[in-house]
Amino acid sequence: MLLRKINLAFLKNLPAQKTQHFSFRQMSGSEFDRFTGKAVNQLKHSVATEDDMPDQLGPAKQRKPRHPPKPPSSKPGVDLSKHSVLLFPGQGAQFVGMGAKLLEIPSVKELYDEASQILDYDLLKLCLEGPQSLLDETQYCQAATVVTSLASVELLYHQQSGAVENCLAVAGFSVGELTAAIFTGALTLSEGINLVKVRGEAMQAASDMCNSGMMTVFAGADGEVAFGCKVAAEWCKRHHDIEDPVCEVANHLYCGAKVVGGHEQALQFLELNKKDFKIRKTARLPVSGAFHTSLMAPAMEPFRMALQNTRVNNPRLPIYSNYDNRIITKGEHLKKYLPRQMVNPVKWESSMAKLFVSEPNDIPPQVYECGPGRGLSAMLGKINGKVAKVCKHIPV
């Protein structure tokens, strides 16, 4: 401290310096050349040794790529281009007017009529006329999505029967797994629609127990989404007196995109503080609850009981589950995993990676997204670009 005081005192006693004025003159040509690339020849002659000559240093070294390209594979590939894979969407892609492009097929009207008898309301009218607020409710949305997806398969069969007859495998997002179960014959249409009704009503009742929702979050490799969910849940517990707050990753869509579900206050916290967790963007989903989270636990038992009283056959085609990425070929496995799916995250990214695993020279099958929206096609482009090029959406 004493040394600092001495230095300060010394600086205060320094005489004020006079301002110096410099005279400017025009730069000569030789001086200009020295400051430009034109002085290369002069530089060569001024170098002391020949080893230091710029033209003796050799060509510049090229940096090796971090991931060098793999040598082309000589292994013959498998041609699956004459076969197909069907993908069925979940709720969230519904819109008023869906199904209008399918009514030219006679069997589609019969499909909606049979479903309406089981559901006790006019499903086709709801899909065509809405209102959107009613269509977004879980108890209506799930049935509308499943039946419209099955109707789109009818259109695909009418246009390209081989695409349906030569199907290799199916996968469904969330409630789309019930669509897949009906398509593969594991469930009859009437029993499948009844299960969709029970599932939708049970999940709607669970959603009405608290104010909750879902939100898509976009983050890079350094994103801290899981940590953000824990902080949001703790914040709800401390500031909103919620005894068991929920904020969880509900859907793994693709690298950099996830869906978070939980209490509304937790979602608002994440929206307001997204930069703290390196989340680039958020977008709310048009759903009425936090599906595939622990908030859906009350809905499991009614659905499990209905499923136990339903005959479930072995599917004619393998169903790629998004609960734990299993390939379901037994009806008993469907009975086991469908209820668990309701309270666990949808692992869509890893499910698609397993479904479309291939060698470099393989030709992938044709892929069809059957149902409202183009979300599954868009996500496939982020997961597997090669397969996404042969993916088509059936307009509804």
What amino acid occupies position 260?
Answer: V
Strand pairing partners for 87?
171, 369
**Nearest of 121, 173, 165, 136 to residue 370 by alpha carbon:** 173
**207: enclosing H helix or E strand:** helix 189-207
Distance, CA of 366 to chain centre:
21
Distance, CA of 379 to chain centre:
6
Strand pairing partners for 284?
215
Asked if residue 153 lies in contact with residue 70, where contact means CB atoms within 8 angstroms, the answer is: no
Instruction: Tell me if residue 373 falls in helix, strand or coil.
Output: coil
Instruction: Tell me if residue 300 falls in helix, strand or coil.
Output: helix
**Nearest of 179, 189, 185, 169 to residue 326 by alpha carbon:** 169
* Catalytic residue from among 84, 174, 212, 321: 174
**Nearest of 231, 235, 236, 216 to residue 279 by alpha carbon:** 216
| CB neighbours of residue 56 within 10 Å | 11
Strands ordered across the beta sheet of 212-219: 279-284, 212-219, 257-263, 247-254, 346-347
Asked if residue 196 lies in contact with residue 178, where contact means CB atoms within 8 angstroms, the answer is: yes
Asked if residue 225 lies in contact with residue 271, where contact means CB atoms within 8 angstroms, the answer is: no
How far apart are the C-alpha atoms of 356 and 122, rounded to whole Å? Answer: 38
**217: enclosing H helix or E strand:** strand 212-219
| CB neighbours of residue 172 within 10 Å | 30
Q: How far apart are the first and last CA of the chain?
A: 81
* Catalytic residue from among 116, 152, 263, 292: 292
Query: Could you confirm whether 393 is annotated as catalytic?
Result: no
Asked if residue 111 lies in contact with residue 118, where contact means CB atoms within 8 angstroms, the answer is: no
Phi, psi values for residue 178, rounded to 5°: -70, -35
Query: Could you confirm whether 240 is annotated as catalytic?
Result: no
**Residues involved in catalysis:** 174, 292
